[in-house]
């Protein structure tokens, strides 16, 4: 066995660390200042929502009728709404709804998109043409309109909103993964996999997919942010999640009629959404740079 010490060149042997691809990517990702800020912020927001019962000074539906429409003060840090409910507490609890909405819709949409896109990209030919044409039709309605239509049809509520948002995210995922697979399709390892008689299923999902997964991760990360915004917009226009659920968009919808008199009811929920989405986008940008082979040095 040749060890590094046995070489007589005198060059200090480099220790080969065992690092997983994931860890390596994460390390590269947090190198940029933007991505680092984004990751920390996002982690804080997620933790705050998860531990909302411990942090929140009041319950999400606890009313303090002596302090209705209170502006920010020491007892109510972000003020209260028309029923005297503490805005900070509602935002903390609302994060659970908004974050899980964004996450599940983005993941669900990407999942369906990846399956359809892999089939299109790998099989090619008529299957591909048919699928891509269907996607053209599917996306001829801009995402938000499709969401409005579907939530109008399905009705309001958490799960229907997830479904509506996910449906809107599918075509983009399909296009992206197909384009990636087209690039990979002629590579030798696929030929090798075919030569050793792997099933089509195994080639598609075990050999091909891991090689095209990075742009999808980036898309999904960015998608979470976009979905949170869209979910908020849906709730705001009266579809999507309904008050009194403290989802962030629903809080905005709640406060919309008091915008001129009590702007804090609009300002803080929106600011929360903006900061969360900003954190996610910064993370996504960092992830993209980390996964981009052109930028690897």
Shortest Å distance, C-beta 246 to other proteins? 16
Least distance to other proteins from the beta carbon of 271, Å? Answer: 8
Contacting other proteins within 81-120 (CB under 8 A): none
CA angle 69, 51, 98 (to 5 degrees): 65
Q: Which is nearer to other proteins, 23 or 274 (CB)?
A: 274
Of 18-26, 47-55, 209-217, 237-245, which part binds other proteins (CB under 8 A)? Answer: 237-245
Burial degree of 149 (CB within 10 A; 0-12, 13-18, 19+) = middle
Site string for other proteins, 8-47 (x = CB under 8 A): --------------------------x-------------
Bridge partner residues of 86 (DSSP): 80
Dihedral of CA atoms 19, 24, 27, 29 in degrees, nearest 10, equals -170
Compute the C-alpha angle 84/86/90, nearest 5°: 125
Residue nearer to other proteins on the CB measure, 212 or 222:
222
Q: Which of 83, 112, 182, 267 binds other proteins (CB under 8 A)?
A: 267
Task: For residue 10, report the phi and psi dihedrals to the nearest 5 degrees.
Answer: 85, -5
Q: Residues touching other proteins: how many (CB under 8 A)?
A: 44
282 touches other proteins (CB under 8 A): yes
Q: Which stretch binds other proteins (CB under 8 A): 2-10, 108-116, 203-211, 265-273?
A: 265-273
Q: Answer yes or no whether residue 233 interacts with other proteins by CB under 8 A.
A: yes
**237 belongs to the binding site for other proteins (CB under 8 A):** yes
Q: Applying CB under 8 A, does 281 fall inside the site for other proteins?
A: yes
Residue 143 touching other proteins (CB under 8 A): yes
Stretch near other proteins under the rule CB under 8 A, chosen from 74-82, 116-124, 213-221, 256-264 = 256-264
Distance of alpha carbon 234 from alpha carbon 246, whole angstroms? 14
270 is a site residue for other proteins (CB under 8 A): yes
Q: Six-digit token pair at 105?
A: 């819709």
Coil vs helix vs strand at 136: helix
Q: How far apart are CA 246 and CA 61, in angstroms?
A: 9
Tabulate helix, strand, coil % of the chain (nearest 5).
Answer: 70, 0, 25
What residues does 80 pair with on adjacent strands?
A: 86
Interface of this chain with other proteins, residues 200 to 229, rule: CB under 8 A: 225, 229
Using CB under 8 A as the binding rule, whether residue 239 contacts other proteins is answered as yes
293 burial (CB, 10 Å; 0-12 / 13-18 / 19+) is exposed
Rounded distance, CA 159 to CA 148, Å?
A: 14
The Cα 234–Cα 249 span in angstroms is 7
Spatial neighbors of 109 by CB under 8 A, at least 6 apart, are 165, 166, 167, 168, 169, 170, 173, 223, 227
Least distance (Å) between residue 207 CB and other proteins: 30
Options 106, 120, 150, 283; binder of other proteins; rule CB under 8 A: 150
Structure tokens given for 276: 């969360």
Choices 42-50, 59-67, 79-87, 134-142 (CB under 8 A): range interacting with other proteins? 134-142
Name the site residues for other proteins (rule: CB under 8 A): 34, 133-134, 136-138, 140-145, 148-150, 152-155, 225, 229, 232-233, 236-239, 252, 256, 259-260, 263, 266-267, 270, 273-275, 277-278, 280-282, 285
């Amino acid at each position: 066995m040749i060890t590094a010490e046995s070489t007589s060149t005198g060059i200090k042997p480099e220790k080969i660390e065992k690092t997983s691809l994931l860890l390596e990517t994460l390390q590269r990702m947090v190198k940029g200042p933007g991505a680092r800020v984004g990751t920390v912020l996002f982690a804080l927001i997620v933790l705050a929502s998860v531990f909302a019962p411990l942090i929140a000074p009041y319950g999400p539906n606890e009313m303090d009728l002596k302090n209705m429409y209170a502006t920010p003060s020491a007892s109510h840090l972000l003020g209260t709404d028309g029923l005297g409910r503490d805005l900070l507490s509602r935002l903390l609890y609302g994060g659970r709804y908004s974050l899980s909405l964004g996450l599940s819709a983005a993941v669900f949409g990407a999942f369906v998109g990846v399956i359809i896109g892999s089939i299109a990209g790998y099989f090619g030919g008529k299957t591909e043409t048919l699928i891509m044409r269907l996607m053209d039709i599917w996306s001829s309605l801009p995402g938000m309109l499709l969401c409005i239509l579907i939530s109008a049809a399905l009705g309001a509520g958490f799960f229907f909103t997830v479904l509506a948002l996910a449906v809107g995210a599918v075509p983009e995922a399909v296009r992206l993964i197909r384009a990636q697979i087209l690039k990979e399709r002629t590579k030798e390892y696929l030929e090798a996999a075919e030569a050793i008689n792997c099933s089509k299923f195994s080639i598609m999902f075990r050999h091909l997919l891991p090689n095209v997964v990075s742009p999808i991760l980036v898309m999904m990360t960015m998608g979470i942010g976009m979905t949170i915004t869209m979910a908020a917009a849906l709730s705001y226009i009266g579809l999507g999640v309904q008050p009194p659920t403290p989802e962030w968009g629903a809080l905005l919808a709640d406060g919309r009629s008091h915008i001129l008199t009590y702007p804090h009811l609009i300002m803080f929920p929106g600011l929360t959404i903006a900061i969360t989405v900003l954190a996610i986008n910064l993370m996504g940008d960092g992830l993209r740079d980390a996964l981009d082979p052109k930028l690897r040095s």
